[in-house]
C-alpha cells in the first residue's frame, strides 16, 4: 500500500504536472477554481488529457477505463481528484 495524498497534496501534484508539461509555472493561476472546466478554459486540450490520464495511471498504478474518460470525471481539478481517489485500484502513491 502506498502513501495516500490529502486533497491539497494531490492538487499540487496535478499542478506540478501541468507546469512541467504545459503551463511552465502558470498552472496555479489558470486553475484558480477547482471546479473550473479544463477544456473550456484552455487548461488542457484533448491531447493534454490523454497525457494526463497516462500520467495518473503510471503514478498511481491504476487502469482508467476508457469508457470513464468524460467531462463528468476529468474536466476539472476536483473531478480528477475525486475520480482517482475513489478508483478501486487507488492505494496512494507507491512507496
Q: Which CATH architecture best describes the domain 7-86?
A: Orthogonal Bundle (1.10)
Full-model pTM: 0.93
Q: Is the predicted pLDDT of residue 1 greater than 80, yes or no? A: no
**88 with 22: CB under 8 angstroms?**
no
Q: What was the pLDDT predicted at 71?
A: 94
In the numeric block, which cell numbers belong to residue 29? 493561476
How do residues 48-77 score in pLDDT, each as one tens digit? 999 999 999 999 999 999 999 999 999 999
Residue 18: pLDDT band (50, 70, 90) is: very high
Distance separating alpha carbons of residues 22 and 43, to the nearest angstrom? 8
How do residues 29-44 score in pLDDT, each as one tens digit? 999 999 999 999 999 9
16 Cβ contact partners less than 8 Å away, ≥ 6 residues apart: 27
Amino acid at each position: 500500500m502506498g502513501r495516500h495524498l490529502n486533497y491539497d497534496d494531490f492538487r499540487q501534484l496535478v499542478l506540478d504536472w501541468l507546469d512541467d508539461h504545459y503551463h511552465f509555472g502558470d498552472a496555479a493561476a489558470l486553475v484558480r477554481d477547482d471546479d473550473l472546466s479544463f477544456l473550456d478554459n484552455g487548461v488542457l486540450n484533448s491531447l493534454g488529457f490523454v497525457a494526463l490520464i497516462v500520467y495518473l495511471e503510471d503514478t498511481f498504478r491504476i487502469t482508467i477505463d476508457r469508457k470513464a474518460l468524460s467531462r463528468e470525471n476529468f474536466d476539472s481539478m476536483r473531478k480528477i481528484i475525486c475520480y482517482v481517489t475513489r478508483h478501486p485500484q487507488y492505494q496512494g502513491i507507491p512507496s
